[in-house]
Amino acid sequence: MTSSPEKKQAAEIAVVAPLDKILSYAIPAALATQVQVGSRVRVPLGRRQVVGYIMNWAEPGDTPLKEILEVIDPHPLFHARHADFYLRAARYYLYPPGEAVRTALPAGLSALDSKPAVLHDRLYRATTSAGDPRGVRQRELLQFIRAAGQVGLSQLRQQFAVPYAALQRLVELGFLEFVEVERCRDPFAEMAVDVHHALELNPAQQQAVNHVTRLLNAPPAFHPCLLHGVTGSGKTEVYLRAIAAALEQGRKALVLVPEIALTPQLVGRFRSWFRDHGVHLAVLHSGLSDGERYDAWRQVAKGDIDVVIGARSAVFAPLAGLGLIVVDEEHDGSYKQSEGFRYNARDLALMRGQMDEAVVLLGSATPVLTTYQRAMDGQLAYLPLPERTAERPLPGVELVDLAQHDGEGLLSEPLQVALGATLQAGEQALLLLNRRGYAPFLLCHDCGATLRCPNCDITLTYSQVQRSLRCHYCDFRQRPPESCARCSGARMLPEGMGTERLEEEIRHKFPGARVARMDRDTTSRKGSHHRLVTQMAAREIDVLIGTQMIAKGHDFPAVTLVGVLNADTALNLPDFRSAERVFSLLSQVAGRAGRGDRSGRVLIQTYAVDNYALAFVARHDYQGFAALELAQRQALDYPPFGHLVNLVLSGNDETKVCNAANRLSAGLMAGPPDVEVLGPAPCLLARLRNKHRMQILLKGRQREPLRRRLAQLTPLRMHIPAGVVLTVDVDPVDMF
């Protein structure tokens, strides 16, 4: 029972602290008119003061409550509906609610003294004063402002290089007046908006649009759908029309993409489509500056935005009146947060759709097997797009047996020949090598020693460009040694291949080709990824080399060749999802070829030509792969036929971690056999960032027994010693 908002005697507050519950605080009379659900406040917690977020009203009760000390923001950051969503998400993932809300909000809103600046602009307009000033420049300014009605200072400075003193003088003379207004930072303000050319939908696209439109025109209700379309089948066109249908009903839309790098392309398509319809778009992702994200968030919370586009964190956007949620490339592992609040944005999109009675449209050419099985079971509407647009054929896929091309370097002879023919024809090529750097490690050819990270159980990756050795997990770096530390040998040579080494070889073999590289090293600066995409679209690049980033959602019509250099690495990972990941990645990158007027070709270099996942990739046979893989999963009670929770214990003292893991495992085993407790066992990366790591895997056919077993963690946590941290990963995507 909560008190009415009018009384506001006490509030339930999620504090930014590792507490598994929300706390009640009294509302002092002086703050009663300022406090709202969604307000960020300063409250006492023990002997210190922390940030908290008001989630609901509360009854004061008999026990005296500590008082809220300050309301930090003048306007709420979210509303009651979103507070319920944040708390439900925190409960599902067993994460402290205050920390969960902190993760949901824009960066910089969790510290007491942290608040992104709100920018203001001056809007000038002419007064009713007759006559003109004496100065020529002043008369020109006044005439322009009179004709425009009102003009912002930032526009005047940018467009006319107007000195502030001239404007101030016109104000003093009574010719101008101004008002101060908030100015929102728009990261895409300078992006040109193309004219939209409506495309004719094929029958499958039209059927999908009609289905979603019928759902949106019906009374609000939760309707999950899977848009299963082959690469190049025009899923984005379906999204656009579905969003238009939602907006026509007066409802709003949320669009999630797996990578922030894809956002500019999608924003461009959306702005082009809605340019003449008065639709307001906002972008939310971690690649924006704190100020840009804060401005966009405030606009959304105030109800000024119709469509939000963003990466996984955008699932928390405080949109009211939500009618449609689109999750593009729903299979992508980037939707899972790998540290801290380990939520999966795809799953939270479904949760939010259920709470907001919205249509949720999951789109992919290679949907996660869990999603596909739900669709086959009738839990999601199945909307297939079996053909590419304009009746373009899918590219031919060939497996190149590396056992028959030994000693030919990074590129086998068939791939070299194909690349040469592609360049000769003036077409573009993509080369996928899912390992950045020059080489995975340096090897002493005298004694066999390698250089390993002092903080992690992994070899250091060698970068020729930076002349450094680097750990991609903890970012430890060092200069390459002149000699081996073990035997003093001078033959420390790079082994294996990375994208840098491949780029070097391509430049050597094809000196006339314009070559570029797309990986985390070349796209770390803001806007760098977008520049590469723009250059590819403008055909200023002939060969684009990259990691899995090049497989994600890009549409380059001139790409006719895709080469995959090492398809085997991921197949050999000790994870039951390894085959699914390989099938998805290779199918996605293969789909980048032949999206224009010319047919495409894909060459996959591998030693495992008989692997079933690669065989299904070569045939573009998702259904066949899914049938075989799902049968294997069902036999072992793995998702989607079972549910998993991974418990990871980490600490500096290996003995402490092992003992704590053994005690925790024994405590969890003391229960009915409806949950299988596997472990403890060392993590695949047994030491990461100087922390020793052990894991315990909980597996159950039903969620409810798993939840009951997880409830045992509360008393068991008390026996975990200081210095050992327990991390709970509900529905883990990997076990590394």
Asked if 353 and 362 touch (Cβ cutoff 8 Å), the reply is no
Confidence tier at 7 by pLDDT (50, 70, 90): low
DSSP 111-147: STT--PPPPEEEEEEE-S--S--SSHHHHHHHHHHHH
Q: Which of 133-137, 232-236, 599-603, 644-648 has the lowest mean pLDDT?
A: 133-137
Confidence label for 671 from pLDDT (cuts 50, 70 and 90): confident
Give the pLDDT band of residue 700 (cuts 50, 70, 90).
very high
Asked if the domains at 120-182 and 643-730 fall in one CATH topology, the answer is: no
* CA–CA dist 685, 694 (Å, integer): 9
Contact 648, 685 (CB under 8 A): no
Boundaries of every domain in the chain: 10-104, 120-182, 203-390, 393-436+498-631, 643-730
Each residue's pLDDT tens digit, 323-342:
999 999 999 999 999 899 99
The two tokens of residue 637 are 């009670």
Is a pLDDT exceeding 80 seen at residue 616? yes
- What's the whole-number mean pLDDT along residues 28-37? 93
Higher pLDDT, 498 or 514: 514
pLDDT band at 2, cuts 50/70/90? very low
> What's the pLDDT band for 5 if we cut at 50, 70, 90?
very low
- Compare 264 and 133 and report the one with higher pLDDT: 133
Average pLDDT, integer, range 349-374 = 97
Topology annotation, domain 203-390: Rossmann fold (3.40.50)
Pick the CATH number of 10-104 from 3.40.1440.60, 3.90.209.20, 2.60.40.3880, 3.40.1210.10: 3.40.1440.60
Rounded Cα distance, 255 and 274, in Å: 15
Over residues 351-379, mean pLDDT: 97
Q: Which pTM value belongs to this model?
A: 0.90
pLDDT in tens, 629-655: 999 999 999 999 999 999 999 999 999
Q: What is the mean pLDDT of residues 392-400?
A: 94
Mean pLDDT of 543-567: 89
* pLDDT tens digits, 189-232: 656 666 667 788 999 999 999 999 999 999 999 999 999 999 99
Round the CA-based radius of gyration of the chain to a whole number and report it.
29
Topology of domain 393-436+498-631, CATH: Rossmann fold (3.40.50)
- The pLDDT of 169-179, averaged and rounded, is 84
Does pLDDT of 600 surpass 50? Answer: yes
Long-range contacts of 286-289 (CB under 8 A, 24+ apart): 286/107, 286/260, 286/311, 286/313, 287/260, 287/263, 287/311, 287/526, 288/187, 289/185, 289/187
What's the pLDDT score for residue 589? 93
Q: What is the pairing mode between strands 543-546 and 515-518? A: parallel
b/e sequence 417-443, b meaning 16+ C-beta within 10 Å:
ebbeebbeeebbbbbbbbbbbbbbbbb
Q: What is the pLDDT of residues 681-695, one digit of tens each?
A: 999 889 999 999 999
DSSP string, 191-205: S--PPP-PPPPPHHH
* Per-residue tokens: 375: 């669709």
Q: Which residues contact 190 (CB under 8 A, 6 or more apart)?
A: none
- CATH code of domain 643-730: 3.30.70.600
Q: What is the pLDDT of residue 39?
A: 93
Tens digits of per-residue pLDDT, 294-311? 888 989 999 999 999 999
Q: What dotted CATH number matches 120-182?
A: 1.10.10
